[in-house]
Amino acid sequence: MGMGGIHIPGECVRALELQLDSLCTEVGFPPRSEFKWSPGRELWMRSNLTGEARTEFFRRGIGLARDAGAEALVVIEDTEHQTAGGAGTHEEDVVNLFLERANHCLDRARQGLILVDTPGGDRLDEGSFLGRCLDTIQHGTSYVRFDRIALNVIATRSALVRLLQLADVVTSCTLAYVAGEGRYSPPVFESIRPILRAEYGRVGGVGVKIHPDGRYANLYHWLLGDAHFVRNQTGHPLPFADRPYHRSPEAP
């Protein structure tokens, strides 16, 4: 289970949205036809943008985001383990972990908005999701006081916002890559890797959070290139010989 997104500096939002729409027009998308990492049968790109052409389209879109100063955040959770923060469900836990990182990536002198795709289900499900987000932002978690998110999470249909579509590609590709998908995700993830948020030379736990990372810390080394696993402001050299995936990302 996972959740992710891209942080775009406010002054670049409109320009990047227009650039992505122009890219879609250039490669032949009908007006308002959505792009996704895994397009359904109803979408134009499923049959009309395939193979290397699709990969190159994704790379170009991510490149535009990189040039705009975008940073990517992805949270992945193993649902066979306990939640990280004591949330009642893994879905709530993933959302909380993402909100914590979204708040942290904002500069202390600025505030930001979080725009998400309309959650699946009916309007009651959507209202419940947004209500839980508001509770988290207003009351905080055990680790974060939300002081940089200006309003509650805002939901809209991703078909209407190219930036949300790009966030889907970044998140879904990263999830597939971490899960071991080896055909489609690796060439696109190579374009995503440079925009993953990093601190002190490490991406693990920052741009990509895998919970429980005590178990999956070695994947930060093999997949993200981290040399150290940071816990309590102390760096521990990776890979750990006594934890899964100590020889490679394929062999637990």
Please answer whether residues 100 and 3 qualify as being in contact, where contact means their C-beta atoms are separated by less than 8 angstroms: no
C-alpha–C-alpha distance, residues 162 and 14, integer Å: 10
Q: Tokens representing 183?
A: 């055909």
Please answer whether residues 75 and 3 qualify as being in contact, where contact means their C-beta atoms are separated by less than 8 angstroms: yes
C-alpha–C-alpha distance, residues 75 and 4, integer Å: 6
More confident residue, 124 or 89: 89
What residue segments make up the domains of the chain, in order of their start?
2-75+97-197
Going by C-beta distance under 8 Å and a sequence separation of 6 or more, which residues neighbour residue 121? none
Q: How does pLDDT run across 198-217, given as a tens digit for each residue?
A: 998 899 999 999 999 989 99
- The answer to whether the Cα torsion of 35, 178, 77, 101 is positive or negative is negative
C-alpha–C-alpha distance, residues 166 and 172, integer Å: 10
33-52 burial code (b ≥16 CB/10 A, e <16): ebbebebeeebebeeebeee
pLDDT of residue 186: 98
Amino acid (one-letter) located at 190: E
Q: CA distances (Å), 55 to each of 26, 34, 165, 169, in order?
A: 15, 16, 15, 11
- The answer to whether the Cα torsion of 211, 217, 219, 225 is positive or negative is positive
Amino acid (one-letter) located at 103: N
The yes-or-no verdict on residue 59 having pLDDT over 80 is yes
C-alpha–C-alpha distance, residues 155 and 250, integer Å: 37
Amino acid (one-letter) located at 207: G
The yes-or-no verdict on residue 21 having pLDDT over 90 is yes
Rounded to the nearest integer, the mean pLDDT of the chain is: 95
Q: On the CB side of 155, how many CA atoms lie within 13 Å of its CA? A: 14
pLDDT of residue 107: 75
Q: How does pLDDT run across 62-99, given as a tens digit for each residue?
A: 999 999 999 999 999 999 999 998 888 999 999 999 99
